[in-house]
Structure 1
Amino acid sequence: MVLGLTGLLVPLTAALGAAPARAASCTTSTGPYQKQVEKFLGRPVDGRQSAADCQAIRAFQAKHGITPTIGYAGPITWRTMSTMLAQRAAGNNPNAAGKCPTNKGRIACVDLTRQLSWIQDGSRLKYGPVPVRTGKNGTETRTGAKRIYWRSIDHWSTIYHVSMPYAQFFDGGQAFHSTTKSMYNPPGSGGCVNMRSADAKSYWNLLRNGDDVYVYGRKPGT
């Protein structure tokens, strides 16, 4: 089964991808990625902030938990959109570059750069690719060859005090599991590979203890 992928003017804060603290209302400021963001959202590409531009950007930011939600076309908003574009470009051939091993039989691949994961049998795509939310700067999802060593369908994290449904651990506490947050919610997880509920459930049904996991790349912003 193959599933396709179906959102100040102060120089320092702008460089960090955030606008100055202010009330949650639309900004009139033109962001450094205004044209790119306008194009992504299907807005007229003129590089000038308008009220309609701001509302469209704000809706995207609100959907994916990007703050402050004021419609500013800054680095974090554009980075999120760029990741989405890279995911769309992967289509149904996420391992075109051959970076995930094809000589392991069943294996779950995690591409941190594109924030994508999929399951393959040899070179045959079994499930995905699907968007994932991996570790943030300082708690990155560790790269390399791993194996699933423990599964807990209704896991509760005693570290973060949160539910981790369909948890499948593959590296010292790092696991695949579902979350209710957007896959694009910054800055990222505590190291786990967060997934949408339906995807985490499918991974649970397709993988077993001892199955291989391969993590590679580098998450944007880390």
Structure 2
Amino acid sequence: MASGSEGKQVRELQARLRQIGHFDRSPTGYYGTVTVAAVQSFQGKRGLSRTGKADTLTWRKLLGMTHEPTAAELNPPTTRTVAEPDKRCMTGRVLCISKNSRTLAWMIDGRVVSSMDVRFGSQYTPTREGTFSVHWKSRHHVSTIYHTAMPYAMFFSGGQAVHYSADFAARGYSGASHGCVNVRDEGKIASLFAQVKNGDKVVVYG
């Protein structure tokens, strides 16, 4: 595994690195700059070449020092505390999105089914607030304006959508979207995408 890799094994790598203090956030399944730095840190402490790549020797050493990650370690509920739901989120099927807490809660009849970290547009391309509904889903979407991948896109207001962001997974909150709601955990949004239907409500609030 190396920079740009993604998938279940990357998530396991991150969870194992987190067990021994080399990865300080929830596993994302994306091998970005933070993961490279974590692997280099681990390699340096173990006298291995600081390549930042999870080669066979590095992986074996890590396996010997860690335990099989639990489901909770692989997919923590969220790294941020979910906000108190807006009253508009309390009935029906709702993507309840708080700008203040930077979280998305998938709610059905007032119950939080799942939650995940999100980021928003910049001050120049703000994410719209209000009550909307999902009007189009596109699993392998690519932006026609910015020519960037928008996997698991669920459009709710014109060109604004909830979607997975590899950039968010790699850079965290140092970046911003062009108005969309970015999700950094691919596993969580893949599960969400499978559950959400066209017509489900979207509430974006401050």
Measured against the shorter chain, the TM-score band is: 0.5 to 0.7
2:101 to 105, 111, 114: 114
Counterpart Cα distance in 1 of 2:133 and 2:126: 18
Q: Does residue 1:155 correspond to 2:144, yes or no?
A: no
Q: Displacement, 1:88?
A: 5.2
The SS at the match of 1:153 is strand
Once residues 166 and 145 of structure 1 are traced to their aligned partners in structure 2, the CA distance between those partners, rounded to angstroms, is 20
Alignment pair present for 1:136 and 2:107: no
For 2:174, which of 174, 178, 186 is the aligned residue?
Answer: 186
- Work out whether 1:211 is the aligned partner of 2:179: no
Letter in 2 for 1:165: P
What secondary structure, in the 3-state scheme, does the structure 2 residue paired with 1:132 have? Answer: strand
Would the aligned equivalents of 1:109 and 1:118 in 2 still touch at CA under 8 Å?
yes
Instruction: Provide the rounded CA distance (Å) in 1 between the counterparts of 2:121 and 2:87.
Output: 19
**Residue 150 (structure 2) pairs with residue 164 (structure 1):** yes
Instruction: Kindly indicate whether the alpha-carbon contact (under 8 Å) linking 2:83 and 2:98 is maintained by their aligned counterparts in 1.
Output: no
Structure with more helix by fraction: 2
Deviation at 1:182, TM superposition (A): 3.0
- Unpaired stretches in structure 1, ≥5 consecutive residues: 1-5, 7-41, 43-61, 65-86, 218-222
Q: State the 1:159 CA deviation.
A: 0.5
Letter in 1 for 2:197: R
In structure 2, distance between residues paired with 1:88 and 1:182: 14
TM-score, normalization by structure 2: 0.58
TM-fit CA distance, 1:198: 1.3
Residue matched to 2:34: 63
Distance 2:178 2:164 in 1: 13
TM-score w.r.t. the length of structure 1 is: 0.54
Per the alignment, residue 50 of structure 2 pairs with none
Give me the whole-angstrom Cα distance separating, in 1, the residues matched to 2:102 and 2:80.
13
**Structure 1 residue 186, shift from structure 2 partner:** 2.3
Q: Which amino acid aligns with 1:140?
A: P
Tell me which of 186, 189, 195 is aligned to 1:197: 186
Alignment-derived partner of residue 13 in structure 1? none
Equivalent pairs, count: 131
Residue type matched to 2:179 in 1? G
CA distance in 1, matches of 2:121, 2:166: 16
Closer/same/farther in 2, CA of residues 133 and 213 from structure 1, 3 Å limit: same
Alpha-carbon distance between aligned partners in 1 of 2:91 and 2:108, rounded to the nearest angstrom: 8
Structure 1 residue 101 corresponds to structure 2 residue 72: no
Aligned residues with identical type, % of pairs:
34
- Is the Cα contact below 8 Å between 1:137 and 1:187 reproduced in 2? no
For residue 150 of structure 1, report the CA deviation from its aligned partner.
0.5
Structure 2 residue ranges without an equivalent (≥5) = 1-14, 16-20, 22-32, 36-77
The alpha carbon displacement at 1:95 in A equals 4.5
**Root mean square deviation of aligned Cα:** 2.3
